[in-house]
């Protein structure tokens, strides 16, 4: 099990992540998106990368998600694998904390 630096929620490689449907609105002339959090009271702001990862969570595990992001941005795996994996772990943790994704075992 791998834990993220700043939170209590652990990102595990074998767990699949599924996006929870939430209303969202892209900010005009900006790369950020406003999303209604899981508590149905808070609005959170996702940057472009976080939004793409949230949109991509369709039952993938961490390894599959990283591969999909590398392909989407056409990044060489050997150069960016570790960075993208770390970013995905942090973003998945943030999304889980805010009720935007579900974990499946």
Work out the pLDDT band at 14, boundaries 50, 70, 90.
Answer: confident
Domain that holds residue 29: 2-100
Tokens matching residue 9: 């929620």
Domain presence at residue 78? yes
Domain presence at residue 94? yes
- DSSP class of residue 18 equals E
Domain presence at residue 105? no
Domain presence at residue 14? yes
The predicted pLDDT at position 99 comes to: 95
Domain presence at residue 93? yes
* pTM reported for the whole predicted model: 0.83
Burial 44-82 (b: 16+ CB within 10 A, else e): bebeeebbbbbebbeebbbeebbbbbbeeeeeeeeeeee
User: Is 5 a residue whose pLDDT tops 50?
Assistant: no
Q: How many domains does the chain have?
A: 1
What integer is the mean pLDDT of 40-66?
Answer: 95
């Amino acid at each position: 099990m791998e834990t993220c630096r700043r939170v209590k929620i652990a990102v595990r490689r074998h767990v699949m992540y599924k996006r929870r449907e939430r209303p969202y609105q892209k900010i005009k002339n900006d790369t950020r998106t406003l999303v209604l959090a899981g508590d149905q009271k808070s609005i959170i702001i996702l940057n472009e990368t976080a939004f793409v990862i949230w949109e991509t969570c369709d039952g993938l595990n961490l390894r599959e998600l990283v591969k999909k992001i590398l392909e989407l941005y056409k990044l060489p795996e050997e150069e960016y694998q570790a960075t993208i994996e770390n970013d995905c772990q942090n973003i998945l943790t943030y999304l889980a904390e805010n009720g935007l994704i579900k974990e499946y075992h």
